[in-house]
Amino acid sequence: MLRKLLAKAVARALVLALAAGLAAPAAAATTSAPLEHQPWSFSGPFGMYDQGQLQRGFKVYTEVCSQCHSIQYIHFHNLGDPGGPFWSPKYPNSNDNPYVKAIASSWPRQVTEINADTGDPSHRKPTSADVLVPPFPNDAAARASNGGALPPDMSLLAAAREGGPDYIYAILNGFRPTPAGIKNAPPGKYYNVAFPGDLTSYWTGAADAVPTGGFISMPPPLTDCKVTFDDGTPCKLQQEARDVSAFLQWASDPKMNERKQTGIAVMIYLLIFSAILYASYRQIWRNVAH
């Protein structure tokens, strides 16, 4: 036991020495449940976003997530861009899209401006040119309302997490009752099997049976029928989680449809071009021994 501890200490010291030399921190032994790959409509080289799913996901974002999370790189008009949740070929200029206009004008929060004549703060309804108005005016206000934790901006959430939408889906489905062997769980935190953490210091059971996962500051946001879907899709928790994960993937990578469509054309073009060049090469070199 002592030898094991000593070996561990030496290993730790080496890591620290190496890491300190590079100004990098020693990594804690974080664990989380392995990610399950979900069958996304946008997987693979031909996969595209499912517009109905994006609309449902947007509803989940609006009614639940947007209470705490901003999405600072998404403007209302982006919702009507090609590939977006409310894209319609009838409205190539997404600012004219009636859904976009209606969503902007009925948004629960107003835009704060400075009145040009008086210099006083004033408020107005958002237009399609505005960013989806965030729930908090600044990070300090967001922390103050969330027990000191800052709800991350959601524009790039799917791109900034290993596993992307699979990770978001796993977190939303990963809330469990705190395991019995956990003592002194931090107050205002929630146990989540998919959230990377290290529960060793809370664990009172066998040393090799430390539960995977960690404590997350976000309370379980979704329950069955927290959001009802206008298209009749059953409002199960898994459905809500899947749809909002897809929506957040779109928010991270809104040009994916266009990118893959262009890519397929480019590949076909280059294949033909390469074949022509190869034929030219054989033709030009036909009389040269090499």
Partner 1 sequence: MDAHSHSHYEPNTAFERWLDARLPIVRFGKDLLDFPTPKNLNYWWTFGGILAFCLAVQIVTGIVLAMHYNASGTGAFDSIQHIMRDVNYGWLIRYIHANGASMFFVAVYIHIFRGIYYGSYKAPRELLWLIGAVIYLTMMATAFFGYVLPWGQMSFWGAKVITSIFGAIPVIGPAIVSWLVGSFTVDAPTLNRFFSLHYLLPFVIAGLVALHIWALHVPGNSNPTGVNVKDKSDTVPFHPYYTVKDGFAVSVFMLMFAIFVFFMPEALGHVDNNIAANPLATPAHIVPEWYLLPYYAILRAIPDKLTGVIALAAAIGCLFALPWLDRSRVRSMRYRPQARLYFFIFIAACLILGYCGAHEPDQQIIPGLAAFNIGDSSINSMAWLSRIAGLYYFAWFLLINPLLGLRETPLPVPESISTPVLSHPAAAPAGAAAAPEKKG
CB of 122 to partner 1, least distance (A): 25
Cα–Cα separations (whole angstroms), residue 84 to 57, 75, 79, 173:
11, 12, 5, 25
Please pick, from the candidates 9, 30, 105, 124, the single residue that binds partner 1 as defined by CB under 8 A: 30
Interaction with partner 1 in 263-282: which residues (CB under 8 A)?
A: 263-264, 266-267, 270-271, 273-274, 277-278, 280-281
**Residue 141 near partner 1 by CB under 8 A:** no
Q: Is-contact 114 122, C-beta < 8 A?
A: yes
Interaction with partner 1 in 32-51: which residues (CB under 8 A)?
A: 45
Closer of 184 and 287 to partner 1 (Cβ)? 287
| Cα dihedral across residues 155, 160, 166, 172: positive or negative | negative
* List of residues 6+ apart from 275 with CB closer than 8 A: none
**Residue 17 near partner 1 by CB under 8 A:** yes
Residue whose pair of structure tokens reads 């054309």 in the numeric block = 265
Q: Return the bridge partners of 192, or none.
A: 175, 214
Interaction with partner 1 in 68-107: which residues (CB under 8 A)?
A: 73, 78
**Residue 262 near partner 1 by CB under 8 A:** yes
Q: What number of chain residues touch partner 1 (CB under 8 A)?
A: 51
Q: What is the DSSP string of 211-263?
A: PS-EEESS-----TTSS--TT-----HHHHHHHHHHHHHHHH-TTHHHHHHHH
**Residue 260 near partner 1 by CB under 8 A:** yes
**Residue 9 near partner 1 by CB under 8 A:** no
Pairing type for strands 121-124 and 190-192 reads unpaired
**Residue 27 near partner 1 by CB under 8 A:** yes
* List of residues 6+ apart from 89 with CB closer than 8 A: none
**Residue 129 near partner 1 by CB under 8 A:** no
User: Applying CB under 8 A, which residues contact partner 1?
Assistant: 7, 10-11, 13-15, 17-18, 21-25, 27-28, 30, 45, 73, 78, 155-156, 159-162, 252, 254-255, 258-260, 262-264, 266-267, 270-271, 273-274, 277-278, 280-281, 284-290
